[in-house]
Chains A and B, each alone.
Chain A
Amino acid sequence: MEKRGELTSSQIGMIILAIAGFIVVLLFLFFILDLKEMSELEICKLSILTRGTAPEITKRLAPLKCTTQKICLTMENKDCPQFLGYENVKKVKLPSGTLADGKPKASQKIEEISANAMYDCWNIMGQGKIDIFGGEEGNHLSDLVIEKAKSISVVNNVEAKCVICSRVAIAPDLYEEKNKEILKQVDVNTYLKEKQVPGSSLTYLQTFTDRQVSSYPSQFSTNFSKQGEGKTTDEIAFVFSQILVDGREPLEQAFEKGAGTGIAIGSGLLLTPLGKVVGLVGAKITIPAAIVATLTSGGLAYVEAGNNQELAVEYCGPFESVEQARYGCSVVTPAAFSSKEDLDKIENLCKGGIEGNL
């Protein structure tokens, strides 16, 4: 006889399964997903994915747990005064000696570190395909609801928002006369063009441009070399910035908005005034920072192929992770990070705010 309210065996089974599932999830959270053991980069990536997959209205509630990576380049295991007092500074002792072509090994190491910093930044931030920042923020839940309603039709009031992925600083020993040649021979752009991303058959440049570009246009190279005598700095920051656009000619809109924010087109080519060329303080030498290839992520591909919208859309187009069609332009830019003026320029680029911990 079955009593009223008695649980059937299938119901009991379901309850047991649910409880077991709950326990498994808890165990996973407490033991396997140990956030303390995760690297800062992994935590950052996880928080970006959480934001990217969160519904639009709750996007701002998911904190962006990204901490700027600090890399100190040194020849003699010295500390970088720029990072005095900071924890988790990655000190890189540059190798001595020269390569077969006479180039200092240390120069190539600097190129490698810069290229990887840029690649990591681009990769962790979702390669421009994730809407990381969402719409505007407010102090009340109602602000979010109103903003959500507004954002359906208007996105033009949104300013670029940024994350400073990493800061690469030069220790004082690299300024010394004997090491002058090391900085002189750093050529990040050539490295990006010629070297492959670790674990991939593609070069950095091909990866950034979705295989569309394997070398720089000659005009571009000429412009770049002209910038060799620029301002100097002892620290470079790799800044990821993202701006929302409404989908029509997204790259051009980004430029329009960027006119006052640091993104501009020079001589028909894409350049950023932020860091046309970044050099080094003290040694009075300039290192060609990877500005060019940075913006190639969307820009060079766009310029190179004329008005090929498809290419631009790859990096300056619809996000993949939102419920409604939204467009954005994302850029990773190396920028000098030494003087107050340098910071002002970054501030100007990131008018919508800078997220993450410096």
Chain B
Amino acid sequence: MKKKAILMKNTLGIILAVGGIALLLFLGGEIAYGAFKTNQEDKAAQTVIDLVKTKIDAIGTDESTELEIKGIDTGGEGDWFLVGWNEEGLIKPDKCFFQTCVCVCKLTDIIPTLENLKEGCQNRGFCRETNTKQIQVSTTTPNILTFPYVGLQPALKKIDIKKHKTQDDEIVVSISPQS
């Protein structure tokens, strides 16, 4: 009788311990995998913004170029957007406060309005200064609610990048997706 009781007690302990360890391992794995996925997305976003910046720097005034990008896979959790913030704009992320800049920013399940994109770029965005007075980004399907952006959903896309001078001799960069 006594032996059986000891056995039952130990068995229950072992089951609980194994269950606890399994749970801990699973939670640890989830956290590590989540971090890995986030890191992969961020790396892809940085690759895109670096390419855009490289192309902007590579062209002279009144020149244009094309860029092929393959979008960023988020596994359905939000989307990444390519947006531009002008030096003179009032509403913009702090990281673009002093200069015109181009950013790749993530939004999760919300409409890409000016305010949302500002927040998105500030919280999870990668920005590069363009060294130009203005930047104009065109949306393929403009919407009155949304701020101009190029969607970076996972698909091969081609974007045009142009640089020109205004009448006031200010350099403007235009970015527009080919449709």
Contacts and interface: CB of A to CB of B under 8 A. Distances in A.
A347 B29 CA distance: 33
Interface string A337-358: 1011001101100100110011
A63 B43 CA distance: 11
Given A139-B77, A343-B157, A343-B158, A86 B33 contact: no
A337 B68 contact: yes
A159 to B, nearest CB: 12
A56 to B, nearest CB: 15
B65 interface: yes
By secondary structure, the B interface counts as mixed
Interface in A99-144: 137-142, 144
Interface in B93-134: none
A111 B150 CA distance: 38
Most buried by A among B37, B70, B73: B70
Contact of A85 (B30, B57, B69): B57
B30 A140 contact: yes
Contact of B65 (A61, A84, A141, A347): A84
Interface string A315-330: 0000000000000000
A354 B157 CA distance: 12
Interface in A294-338: 337
B75 interface: yes
Contacts of A82: 66
A286 to B, nearest CB: 22
B179 interface: yes
B30 A354 contact: no
A346 B156 CA distance: 8
Contacts of B155: 347
A282 interface: no
A81 interface: yes
Contact of A358 (B65, B70, B76, B154): B70
A84 B40 contact: no
Contacts of A86: 54
Interface in B54-71: 54-55, 57-59, 65-66, 68-70
B61 to A, nearest CB: 15
A139 B69 contact: no
Contacts of A85: 51, 54-55, 57-58, 65
Nearest to A137: B75
Contacts of B76: 139
B11 interface: no
Contact of A141 (B30, B58, B154): B30
Interface string B138-157: 00000000000000001111
A138 to B, nearest CB: 6
A199 B40 CA distance: 38
Contacts of A347: 155-156
B70 A354 contact: yes
A144 B34 CA distance: 12
B33 to A, nearest CB: 4
Nearest to A81: B65
A137 B73 contact: yes
7 contacts: A85-B51, A85-B57, A137-B75, A139-B76, A141-B26, A347-B155, A354-B156
Closest 5 CB pairs of A and B: A85-B58, A139-B75, A85-B54, A343-B156, A141-B33
Interface of B: 26, 29-30, 33-34, 36-37, 40, 47, 51, 54-55, 57-59, 65-66, 68-70, 73-77, 154-158, 178-179
Given A61-B33, A63-B40, A350-B156, 8 more contacts: A137-B73, A138-B75, A140-B33, A142-B30, A343-B157, A343-B158, A357-B47, A358-B70
